[in-house]
Amino acid sequence: MAELERIVRDHRNEDVQAEAIETIGDVDKGVNDTLVQTARSGRNARVRREAIEALSQTASETTDSAVLDPIEQLFESIIFEDADHGVRIEAMDALDELPQTRARRVLRKVIDRHPDAQMREEATDHARERNH
């Protein structure tokens, strides 16, 4: 695990980083600090999206609040703070893997307070889909 985490942090090749992220996600079913840090502030948008995807998979496989709470908070902060639109959308899509009440709570915040009208519209669409 330590070697995979080192690859995610230090390797220059995005493909290699992405593979390491996927492997960590497959092996570590908790909230892996390296994946959280990568999702929040990875060097490039692709590896941030990969980390979000891996964490969303973890979220989909548990009901443990100790795992879901930080993942929910992370996705919300990325939706509001990441500079890359694609990363924000990846985090919005990842909400689908959270339990419905958690996803709805984040979507409501986005609809009510996000500074980007496109993100508010995207959240409205997600909320509408969840109601059907």
Inform me whether the pLDDT recorded for 75 exceeds 90: yes
Rounded to 10 degrees, the C-alpha dihedral 54/73/7/16 comes to 40
Q: Return the sign of the alpha-carbon dihedral for residues 45, 78, 91, 111.
A: negative
Domain count, the chain: 1
Measured distance CA(25)–CA(20) in Å, rounded = 9
Residues shown for the chain: 132
Inform me whether the pLDDT recorded for 132 exceeds 90: no
Range of the domain at 63: 2-130
Inform me whether the pLDDT recorded for 68 exceeds 90: yes
pLDDT averaged over every residue in the chain? 95
Q: Return the sign of the alpha-carbon dihedral for residues 32, 68, 58, 36.
A: negative
